[in-house]
Amino acid sequence: MSKTPLFDVALDEYFKALTLDEKGGVVKTCRVSGKDFYVHPKDVNFCKKIRVPLPSVSPEERFRLMLSFENSYNLFADKSSLSGKPIISIHPHGHKYPVYEHTEWHSDKWDRHSFEKDYKEGVPFLAQFKEMIEVMPRPNLISDTSNANSEYTNESFHLRNSYLTFYSFNSDNILYADGAFNSRDCMDGFSFWNCDSCYTLKQVGDSWKAFFVEDSINIRESYFLYDCRSSKNCFMSSNLRNKEYVFRNEQLTKAEYEEKIKSVNLGNYVELEKYKEEFIELKRSAARRPAIIDRSVNCDGHYIDNSKDCHKAMWMGDCENVDYSMSCMNFKDCQFVLGGNDGSGSQLDYLTCFSFGTNYGVRFSIFAKDCRNLEYCDSLRNSSDCFGCFGLTNAKYCILNKEYSEVDYLKTLDRIKTGMLKEGTYGEFFPANISPYPYNITLAIAYPGFDDAEVARGYGYRVEKIETGDTGVGANVLKAEDVPLDVKDVNDDVSKAVIEDKGNGKHFRIIPRELEFYKKNNIALPRKGPLRRLEDWRTDEGNISLDMTIYKRDCSKCGVEITTLYRPDQFQDTVYCDRCYNESLK
């Protein structure tokens, strides 16, 4: 027996009226960009399975919209609206809603249900939701009490002694990272796991004392490696497999390597910058796979491991039948999920951002943790059967934060969903005007493909000039050119000053344990601030566009046709088919 009979009848009529092509798909026109897009037969069947209408927005614009609801990296000085405590916040100055320090927000010091609203028949539901959340308190950071001594972190859980670290889990002593998982004593990295005592990493796993390493696994005591596996004591090399004592892609004896490595001084800033430039050229000339997909069946995308039947996916592990999604671990039967990398696993989620824990049937929602059967919800935990709610914990049968009996909940839900289906809003993500952030500080603008704020403004996104503040105000300012070139000449007083980043005019600090790391590992002090270094990772020339367009190209070596997420203008001479790539490995 249907729990929402009016809605089910209306949805069945909607699907009966669809005109599909001979394959079972349909071409639609994106209501945002005006561009045509194809709804594949698999997508049609998925929508029928989870009982939602077909999308009216293209996959690219759905990604843009979902990413516009997250500000991971821009932090602002503020005070808690509840206690007056000084805080660092992801909410820019001038916000109209209260902002609480996150432990206060998660506490019982305020009543989330006191903001409840009665559903008004005939008024667009999402307008009612927007009216409610605009006055509700928000946490200063997406965090909880599982973190220890890690106040300057966001979207991170179970961290200890970490600083300016984002979207990270179960890690200790991490500085300046985006995506650290089960790691310790690492600094400056973008997506790394099971790493210890490493520096400047991108897509690296299971490594120890790896410095300036990218797209590599199981690396030991090595520097400037790209696309290497199970190698140690190597320097400035690419495409290595099970190697030791390789220097600039030349195999040496142990004695020869140790003699060569003595001449490398990463503690001198001028020398280090030369090595960085050499590494850029090394990566450009290295052979590249059309897609980094391992131990997987029937998958396309990039950075996929141990998965099955996943399409247009990126940063996926242990997933099955998950499409148009990024940063998911142990997910099954989902589409359009962004974030969920703590590995707990979820099923039947759709158009969901930054979910954590184990979820089931979470749709059109943000920041759900351990929830079931949510729609149009934001920041719910341990809750089920809620629609259009914000900030609730241990809740059930709630609409607009008001609790109902099961019978009344289902009757009201039926009317709401039927009305939204009729007006064409049900089945789509939140509209852009519900995001609490201006587009130009969201995760969307941080990536190629969505980085034009004026295009976004034309699509209805809010773009504002934002003052981010400056840690250098009133402090002892040290110009970059006045920082000693060699780390051996740097004394502890540098931690009492701030350094001017000439690239953006902002200032940053070298905190004491950061300086200790540089001295211990003989690495020159940076002249760029940590957030700008993270920005460099996100805009690197080797990155894949987040619209996940799959291109047909010719293998750069043999000419056979390949499919890849690398754009036609990227690495025109070095993207190989799998056969040519495997033959090029050293």
Model confidence at 469: pLDDT above 70: no
pLDDT at site 341: 66
Q: pTM of the full predicted structure?
A: 0.92
Model confidence at 432: pLDDT above 90: yes
For residues 558 and 577, give the distance between their C-alpha atoms in angstroms, rounded to a whole number.
8
Tell me if 140 sits within 8 A of 93, measured CB to CB: no
Which region among 8-12, 147-151, 475-479 has the lowest average model confidence (pLDDT)?
Answer: 475-479
pLDDT at site 473: 47
Give the pLDDT confidence of 235-281 residue by residue, as tens digits: 999 999 999 999 999 999 999 999 999 999 999 999 999 999 999 99
> Strands 346-347, 350-353: parallel, antiparallel or unpaired by DSSP?
unpaired
Q: Please enumerate in sequence order all residues whose Cβ is within 8 A of that of 508, keeping only pairs 6 or more positions apart, or say none.
A: 471, 472, 498, 499, 501, 529, 530, 531
Compute φ and ψ for 327, nearest 5 degrees: 55, 60
Q: How far is CA 28 from CA 11, 56, 91, 323, 393, in A?
A: 18, 7, 36, 19, 39
Model confidence at 530: pLDDT above 80: yes
pLDDT at site 475: 59
Q: Region of 286 please: left (phi>0), alpha (psi -120 to 50) or beta.
A: beta
321 residue type, one letter: N
Average pLDDT over residues 450-472: 82
pLDDT band at 344 (very low <50, low <70, confident <90, very high): confident
What is the chain's mean pLDDT, rounded?
A: 94
Model confidence at 132: pLDDT above 70: yes
Q: What percent of the chain has pLDDT over 90?
A: 85
pLDDT at site 536: 84
Tell me if 332 sits within 8 A of 317, measured CB to CB: no
Model confidence at 547: pLDDT above 80: no
SS3 content of the chain, % helix, strand, coil (to 5): 25, 35, 45
Give the pLDDT confidence of 83-109 residue by residue, as tens digits: 999 999 999 998 999 999 999 999 999
Report DSSP letters for 522-543, one per residue: T-PPPSS-HHHHHHHHHT-TTP
For residues 108 and 393, give the distance between their C-alpha atoms in angstroms, rounded to a whole number.
10
For residues 579 and 582, give the distance between their C-alpha atoms in angstroms, rounded to a whole number.
5
pLDDT at site 73: 85
Please classify residue 23 by burial: count the beta carbons closer than 10 Å to its beta carbon, then call 0-12 exposed, 13-18 middle and 19+ buried.
exposed
Model confidence at 113: pLDDT above 80: yes
pLDDT band at 529 (very low <50, low <70, confident <90, very high): very high
Please work out, in degrees rounded to the nearest 5, the angle formed at the alpha carbon of residue 434 by the alpha carbons of 375 and 11.
Answer: 35
Tell me if 175 sits within 8 A of 510, measured CB to CB: no
> Strands 157-160, 169-181: parallel, antiparallel or unpaired by DSSP?
parallel
Give the pLDDT confidence of 285-308 residue by residue, as tens digits: 999 999 999 999 999 999 999 999
pLDDT at site 481: 86
Average pLDDT over residues 380-403: 98
Model confidence at 471: pLDDT above 70: no
| CA nearest neighbour of 36 among 14, 56, 7, 16 | 56
More reliable by pLDDT, 30 or 478: 30
Give the pLDDT confidence of 143-171 residue by residue, as tens digits: 878 899 998 999 888 999 999 999 999 99
98 residue type, one letter: P
For residues 364 and 388, give the distance between their C-alpha atoms in angstroms, rounded to a whole number.
10
Average pLDDT over residues 313-334: 94
